[in-house]
Structure 1
Amino acid sequence: MISAKVSGSAIASVDLTSEDAVAEIGAACRRDGFFFVLNHGVPTGLVSPAFEETLRFYARPAHEKKNLAADVRSQFLGYRSVGQERSTSHAGGEACEQYRIGRTTGALASGRPADFYHEPFRRCAELFERMVVLGDSLLSACVADLALNGGFFDSCMKSPMHRLGLNYYKVGYGAEIANTVDYAMSPHVDHALFTVLAQDEPGLEVRGADGGWIPVPVIPDAFFVFLGDYLQRWTNGTYRAALHRVGPVPVDRVSIQYKHRPSYSTVVAPLEPFISETDPPRYEPFDTGSQYASLLESLLEGR
């Protein structure tokens, strides 16, 4: 296992071509809930064009971006303006512009096809499809580490709701929306199995096991993987979800986040292999369909 030295701490880096990859992923999921992944199989030539395409979109006039606005009718595909998403930890909003592409449950209530929202991001859509393959490989490694049947999660992944997020953090956005905190994205845990992230500038911070915030560096040709709520909930805490945030933004920054998610309306609750009389369920069931949609709607409502 390789380690990236960061502020006196170490973030594990796993080479997916290594024969020890499964064990190393399992160890990182239990201990930290995050790790870098190397030799991941995603062509490096897809990443730079995705960043360039994202910057071109955010340079568009405001009215063009708002024509692609995300809401419940678009199944939250599309654009969220700076501060539109309400913070869960302070009185303001998230100090970034956001965009989502990815899978849907079918026809959108907006009357537009999903492809309407994907149109500005053709190169990002290519990257998304390769991220799906990587996500499947990472989930298979987790299943093997947990000594589960190889098809254990198949019934939950028949029509997965994977998404790709494209966030733009511009210097001064926090002041523009009158935030009273210096961080740009509030501390939170993702509603996903895990997130695979690329960033063009540092900014992401993860909460370590000791409670301190660890800055995540930019490592060429590597992705940063951090666990979300669903794997923590399914494994009854055997795997650790990663609390994370984006700190102060000294330079303009783009992050691309691929979220690996189950089928719509999958109910995520501690699974039988991880509960017992001495270790009862620690988490309530969570509906990844209507319950998650209601949560998103509440964060975007009226902003």
Structure 2
Amino acid sequence: MAVPGDFAHIPIVDIAGLRSGDADARARVAQALGTAAREVGFLYVTGHGLDPALIDGLLRASERFFALPLAEKMKVYIGNSTNHRGYVPEGEEGFYGNPADIKEAYDLSIDLAHDDPDYVAGNPFLGPNQWPPLPGFAEAVSAYYQAIFALGLDLLDGFAIALGEEPAVFRAHVTKPPSQLRLVHYPFNPTAEDRLGIGAHTDYEVFTLLLATKPGLEVMNGAGTWIDAPPVPGAFIVNVGDMLETWTNGEFVATSHRVRKVKEERYSFPLFFNVDYHTHVAPLPRFVKDGQPMRVGLSAGEHLFAQTAQTFNYLRRKLEAGEIKLPEGALGLSSFGQEARQKTA
């Protein structure tokens, strides 16, 4: 089992070779991805080929949406949906009893029809998006979603190769995944106190692809020290999530991270890349070894639901009212990553 080191910086990996027909180039990139995932759990990726115009369109659309009056944004309040889509006002979510996160967001995922069988059956993460009636918003955001999801598929293949597996070992579980894109806005506050924008946590999915406009992100290293992870021009930040840590039995580490409050206005666009809702995620055979503890298998969707329900106020209210319940065996928050290891050391 890998133990993350006392790293002081986040590595940069050029992933252009993943889209190459050159097997050696793909192998070199995969090796670099694997090293970063084992030793840090976070990395910057360049050479991704994403059209800058799509990024600019996403940013412009986000600026227009968050500039709307609160009453307009609340018309697509996430608590009005049954599949966790829509506007997240400031104070709606928080981690571990910390003060409410100082941010607002808009959440979306794969946009399915209203008659999609999973949506009709009541799946808590699949179905249509709750789009605001803002001209061009859905088009710009959807175009970015499709491009960043395609990049996620390339990275998924790269991680599989890094583990000595065929890409199909993960790809087979990506047919209709609840991979969520968040548009997150941290408002300008010249008198900002030294508070967190998002409390320390790991990400609940396979991995995350993040684009941010300003500093603020911090990553916990193996010694429990917080390391800055500022934006790097032309790069995305990638971090290992709970599912990849489980599949590798801890070989890859879901790194604890947080966002500190900064004075500058800041936008953050994470894609939480996930596998299909009902995927059972358990350590791959190559990581099951005599004398080594084996991670408990998880349902990807149920884990996502349990963690989300413990974070969002509208879902916590439903839990308290008995309208919903956590899946049997649901883990508490902060059950993965370096922070969890620090607590049990």
On whether the aligned pair clears a TM of 0.5, the verdict is: yes
1:148 aligns with 2:178: no
Aligned counterpart, 1:69? 77
CA displacement at 1:227 relative to structure 2: 0.9
Amino acid at match of 2:142: A
Deviating beyond 3 angstroms after TM superposition, the runs of 4 or more aligned structure 1 residues are: 71-74, 104-110, 118-121, 171-175
Q: Residues 224 and 26 (structure 1 numbering): CA distance in 2 closer, same or farther, change over 3 Å?
A: same
Provide the aligned C-alpha RMSD in A: 2.5
Aligned counterpart, 1:138? 155
Aligned counterpart, 2:312? 300
Q: Residues 292 and 203 (structure 1 numbering): CA distance in 2 closer, same or farther, change over 3 Å?
A: same
Paired with 1:23 and 1:190, the residues of 2 have a C-alpha distance of 23
Paired with 2:219 and 2:138, the residues of 1 have a C-alpha distance of 28
Any residues of structure 2 matched to 1:76-225 within 5 Å, and which?
Answer: 76-90=84-98, 92-103=99-110, 106=116, 107=119, 114-117=128-131, 120-172=137-189, 182-225=195-238
Larger strand proportion, structure 1 or 2? Answer: 1
CA displacement at 1:245 relative to structure 2: 0.5
CA contact (8 A) 2:182 2:270 kept: yes
Paired with 1:194 and 1:96, the residues of 2 have a C-alpha distance of 22
CA contact (8 A) 1:101 1:118 kept: no
Q: Residues 132 and 28 (structure 1 numbering): CA distance in 2 closer, same or farther, change over 3 Å?
A: same
Paired with 1:33 and 1:259, the residues of 2 have a C-alpha distance of 15
CA displacement at 1:48 relative to structure 2: 1.8
Aligned counterpart, 1:49? 57
Aligned counterpart, 1:15? 14
Q: Residues 67 and 44 (structure 1 numbering): CA distance in 2 closer, same or farther, change over 3 Å?
A: same
CA displacement at 1:192 relative to structure 2: 1.1
CA displacement at 1:9 relative to structure 2: 2.8
Name stretches of at least 5 consecutive residues in structure 1 with no aligned partner. 1-7
CA displacement at 1:60 relative to structure 2: 0.5
CA displacement at 1:89 relative to structure 2: 4.8
State which of 260, 263, 266 in structure 2 corresponds to 1:247. 260
Q: Residues 256 and 131 (structure 1 numbering): CA distance in 2 closer, same or farther, change over 3 Å?
A: same
Aligned counterpart, 1:4? none
Name stretches of at least 5 consecutive residues in structure 2 with no aligned partner. 1-6, 18-24, 318-345
CA contact (8 A) 1:196 1:258 kept: yes
1:140-178, CA deviations, whole angstroms, 9 ceiling, x for partnerless residues?
A: 011111111331123322222211111011144998xxx
CA contact (8 A) 1:89 1:187 kept: no
Paired with 1:271 and 1:36, the residues of 2 have a C-alpha distance of 26
Deviation larger for 150-159 or 253-262: 150-159
Any residues of structure 2 matched to 1:222-241 within 5 Å, and which?
Answer: 222-241=235-254
Tell me the TM-score normalised to structure 2 length.
0.77
Q: Residues 89 and 23 (structure 1 numbering): CA distance in 2 closer, same or farther, change over 3 Å?
A: farther
Q: Residues 299 and 11 (structure 1 numbering): CA distance in 2 closer, same or farther, change over 3 Å?
A: closer
Deviation larger for 44-53 or 253-262: 44-53
Partner SS state of residue 30, structure 2: helix
Deviation larger for 36-45 or 15-24: 15-24
CA contact (8 A) 2:9 2:227 kept: no
CA contact (8 A) 1:89 1:186 kept: no
Q: Residues 258 and 174 (structure 1 numbering): CA distance in 2 closer, same or farther, change over 3 Å?
A: farther
CA displacement at 1:294 relative to structure 2: 3.8
Length, aligned pairs only:
288
Q: Residues 38 and 205 (structure 1 numbering): CA distance in 2 closer, same or farther, change over 3 Å?
A: same
Provide the identity percentage: 27
1:88-143, CA deviations, whole angstroms, 9 ceiling, x for partnerless residues?
A: 252x3211101111126733669xx7244376342121111011111011110111
Aligned counterpart, 1:5? none
Paired with 1:243 and 1:233, the residues of 2 have a C-alpha distance of 15
